């Protein structure tokens, strides 16, 4: 099957981050969900941030590289990257994720 990866990012950063991960074929798809309000502890202080949630779909073979790339591109010192296994999905969709998230694959466009 594949993995669903959640990443939160400031709104201005979310689309460029998602675009890079999809263009580099580390993820087959990125859904951007705006309007996420996050509350969290950072350095002993309760913080709040308006963010966008990225919901990425990728095969297991790409997860470590995707996580490394997120940490390279993200402005946060410790970005949220949560990986969830997908136990079941439409077979055709799972096959599409596997096929499209192949680093080095060329675009079908001419």
pLDDT tens readout for residues 5-48: 999 999 999 999 999 999 999 999 999 999 999 999 999 999 99
pLDDT digits (tens, 9 = 90+) for 62-102: 999 999 999 999 999 999 999 999 999 999 999 999 999 99
Confidence at residue 83, expressed as pLDDT on a 0 to 100 scale: 98
Q: Is residue 106 part of a domain?
A: no
Sort 76 into a burial class: Cβ within 10 Å, 0-12 / 13-18 / 19+: middle
Strand ranges of the sheet holding 45-58, from the earlier edge strand across to the other edge: 29-42, 45-58, 3-10, 81-85
Confidence at residue 110, expressed as pLDDT on a 0 to 100 scale: 42
Q: Is residue 109 part of a domain?
A: no
Q: Is residue 107 part of a domain?
A: no
The CATH number that applies at residue 29 is: 3.30.70.120
Structure-block tokens of residue 54: 């990225």
Domain that holds residue 76: 3-100
Q: Is residue 105 part of a domain?
A: no
Whether the pLDDT of residue 109 is over 70: the answer is no
Number of domains observed in the structure of the chain: 1
Q: Is residue 96 part of a domain?
A: yes
Confidence at residue 108, expressed as pLDDT on a 0 to 100 scale: 60
Please give the Cα distance from 32 to 49 (Å, whole number): 16
């Amino acid at each position: 099957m594949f993995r669903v990866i959640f990443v939160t990012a400031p709104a201005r950063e979310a689309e460029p981050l998602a675009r890079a991960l999809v263009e580099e074929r580390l993820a087959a798809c990125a859904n951007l969900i705006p309007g996420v309000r996050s509350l969290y502890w950072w350095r002993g202080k309760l913080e709040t941030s308006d963010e966008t949630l990225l919901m990425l779909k990728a095969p297991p073979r790409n997860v470590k590289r995707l996580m490394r790339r997120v940490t390279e591109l993200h402005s946060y010192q410790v970005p949220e990257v949560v990986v969830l296994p997908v136990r079941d999905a439409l077979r055709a969709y799972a096959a599409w994720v596997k096929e499209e998230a192949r680093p080095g694959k060329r675009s079908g466009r001419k």
